[in-house]
Amino acid sequence: MTKARATVIDIAKAAGVSKSTVSLVLQGSSLVNEGTRAKVNAVMRELGYVYNRGAANLRQAGAKSRIIGVVVNDLTNSFFAELAVGVDMVVQSAGFVQFLSNTSESIDRQREVVASMREHGISGLIVSPARAADAADFKPLVAAGIPVVVVVRNLPGAKVSSVVSDNRAGMVSAVKHLAELGHKRIAFLGGFPDTAVFDDRLAGYRSGIEAAGLDYHQDLVISSAPSRAGGVEAIGKAIVLADKPTAAVCFNDAVAFGVCDGLRARRLEPGSDFAVVGFDDVIEAQAAVPALTTVSVDPQGIGRRGAQLLLKQINAGKAEAETVTTAVRLVVRESCGARKSVKIETGL
């Protein structure tokens, strides 16, 4: 399953130094001069050497790694905390432990943590990629035969498995619902426009607008960070438009919560003065005031499905790429005004 990898002896021969010198470099010892250290590190990069800290112990015990790496792009979003819980439910019962790391949308941080996880001999990786990631970032793992499952965000061209929600269908249903409530100016708020998820959800929004017989207006698409602060920013831009929207579908629930905050800061009440729909259905959605209407994607379910797919590949001894698209459903609560009389006006 795993290709032969460069050894310390290979590095020593290529660099023209002793095996003990290579070992000292790996340990970060101050006994090695900087010139030699730089030379050894350059050879390790050239040969694709990965330092496996647990290799000796694993060889002595005759065992295999029972570690699953889990890397997410934004752990401050409760969606990813729920996803990690779903992963843990599956891997723990199978006798594995997960190493969880957050990249905060930094591609450099992602590369660092993935490299560190490889050093610790992970059996597989579940990752929601940072926004600047591309297929090439995971080629070394694929080449080494390490199973990789991408969740939430797809990576076009990567020969890895993926578990994503039906983003387009979810947005179509959200827009349809708001149109049926009588809204004509429906905004799309939040999200980074350089991610596959944004593209899919925006495409669903456009399809929903067209299906409802409404006109698509580019000025009603306002991108922002997919966070609560991003939601505040996006609604601030939306409500100062000359022809204001009366409702919004939001990139995710975090943005929707921020939109509600921004409305209240302007003495407008979500669900009464302006309709708000989120996407994800995180735990806080039902407890929010007003309770958030949202597209439910079941983050724990995505985590469980991703873990099941990864374990299947680990147990099979081969990493054949599979694609899973999970179903979504609209959950109607108070924030869209369906249970109240929404004031559909343009002069907010």
Higher pLDDT, residue 53 or 121: 121
Q: Is residue 346 part of a domain?
A: no
Q: What residues does 329 pair with on adjacent strands?
A: 296
148 and 73 in a single domain? The answer is yes
Number of independent structural domains in the chain: 3
Same domain, 185 and 291: yes
Contacts of 297 (CB under 8 A, 6+ apart): 165, 170, 279, 280, 281, 326, 328
Based on the domain organization, do 81 and 92 belong to the same domain?
yes
Are both 134 and 203 inside the same structural domain? Answer: no
Do 235 and 317 share a domain, yes or no? no
Give the pLDDT confidence score for residue 128 in this predicted structure. 95
Rg (CA), the chain: 24
Residues 200 and 107 in one domain: no
In a domain, 2, yes or no: no
How far apart (Å, rounded) are the C-alpha atoms in residues 181 and 111? 46
Q: Are residues 201 and 268 in the same domain?
A: yes
pTM over 0.85: no
Q: Is 310 contained in some domain?
A: yes
Q: Are residues 93 and 155 in the same domain?
A: yes
Query: What's the pLDDT tens digit per position in 113-131?
Result: 998 898 888 999 999 999 8
151 and 172 together in one domain: no
Q: For residues 198 and 202, what is the distance between their CA atoms, to the nearest angstrom?
A: 6
Other Cβ atoms within 10 Å of 53 Cβ, number: 12
Tell me: pLDDT of 32 over 50.
yes
Does a structural domain hold residue 207?
Answer: yes
Can you give the residue range of the structural domain that contains 291? 167-296
pLDDT, residue 342, reads 41
The long-range contacts involving 316-323, CB below 8 angstroms and separated by at least 24 positions, are: 317/1, 318/1, 318/145, 319/1, 319/142, 319/145, 319/146, 319/147, 319/148, 319/160, 319/161, 320/161, 321/159, 321/160, 321/161, 321/162, 322/161, 322/162, 323/161, 323/162, 323/164
Residue 335, domain member (yes or no):
no
Mean pLDDT lowest among 76-80, 208-212, 252-256? 76-80
- Quote the tokens at residue 251: 């990139």
| Same domain for 171 and 292 | yes
